[in-house]
Amino acid sequence: MEYFVQLSAIVWKDLLLEVRSRERIAAMGAFAVLAGVLFNFSIDTTAVRPQDVAAGLIWMTLVFGGLLGVGRTFHIESQDGAMQGILMSPAPKDAVFLAKVIANFVLLYAISLLVLGVFALFFGVDVRNNLGWVSLILGLGSLGFVAVATLFAAISTGTSMAETLLPILVFPLLVPMVVFGAGATGRLMAGRPFSEVEGNVRMLGAFAFAAVAAGAVLFRYVVEE
């Protein structure tokens, strides 16, 4: 019980900070919209149908935009010794990690729905029939992504290369998420039934679960002093 109180206190602190400063959500949101605009001009629409490439582009926007925000997870804590403060609090290290993952997930999931809207608008993608399933897939993908990226954000914050190191560490690990997520999203957008992508969704779920569990166990070794 106490565990959840401590966990939700950190989630609340992070979300409140974000609501007040709107630093990360504004950056990620603007990035998502602008990426949609740029992608539109990067495609020769006489050669490929925008609907056919939209799913892949949605996931790439999610990955790049997500790194932009999640990479700064520990930025505020790295100043004025705030990280020491959190680590010295009675909250267990895995609660700190899970709280950070939840707060990041809320942010990224909101952004992923925005990305979906942006691509529906700019690329003429029709997801109304499968909106529920596509939202679930984006949710599972976002969860797996934030779990991996939060752990590695803690690592990269502690190095001299800071955020520049994050994509190098995280991109190779995210291949399964992109394969299963973009594959499922693309098929659902093409009007295929859910039964065809059920395997992808299960794998996305397994990936998210494994990433959260591994992060919760390993986080203490990253932040120990």
Q: Does 27 bind other proteins (CB under 8 A)?
A: no
Q: Per-residue contact track with other proteins, 98 to 137, x per CB under 8 A? A: ----------------------------------------
User: Is the CB of 193 or the CB of 199 nearer to other proteins?
Assistant: 199
What DSSP string runs through 55-107? HHHHHHHHHHHHHHHHTTTTTTTTSTTHHHHHHHSSS-HHHHHHHHHHHHHHH
Q: How many residues bind other proteins (CB under 8 A)?
A: 29
Which of 56, 117, 158, 205 forms a contact with other proteins (CB under 8 A)? 158
Amino acid at 196: E
Q: Among 165, 188, 212, 216, which residue interacts with other proteins (rule: CB under 8 A)?
A: 165
Residues contacting residue 100 through CB under 8 Å, at least 6 positions apart: 10, 14, 73, 74, 150
Identify the CA nearest to 33 among candidates 95, 104, 105, 122: 122
Alpha-carbon dihedral of residues 68, 73, 78, 81, nearest 10 degrees?
A: 160
Give residues 37-66 in contact with other proteins (rule: CB under 8 A): none
Residue 42's SS3 state is helix
Pick from 67, 151, 189, 212: which binds other proteins (CB under 8 A)? 151
Question: Of 61-69, 77-85, 120-128, 167-175, which segment contacts other proteins by CB under 8 A?
Answer: 167-175
Q: What's the angle, vertex CA 116, arms to CA 110 and CA 120, rounded to 5?
A: 145
Q: For other proteins, which is the closer residue by CB, 50 or 167?
A: 167
Q: How far apart are CA 159 and CA 28, in angstroms?
A: 23
Q: Which x/- pattern, by CB under 8 A, does the window 86-105 give for other proteins?
A: --------------------
Q: Which one of 9-17, 33-41, 60-68, 201-209 is the stretch in contact with other proteins (CB under 8 A)? A: 201-209
Residue numbers at the binding site for other proteins (CB under 8 A) = 148, 151, 155, 158-161, 165, 168-169, 171-173, 175-176, 179-180, 183, 199-200, 203, 206-207, 210, 214, 218, 221-222, 224
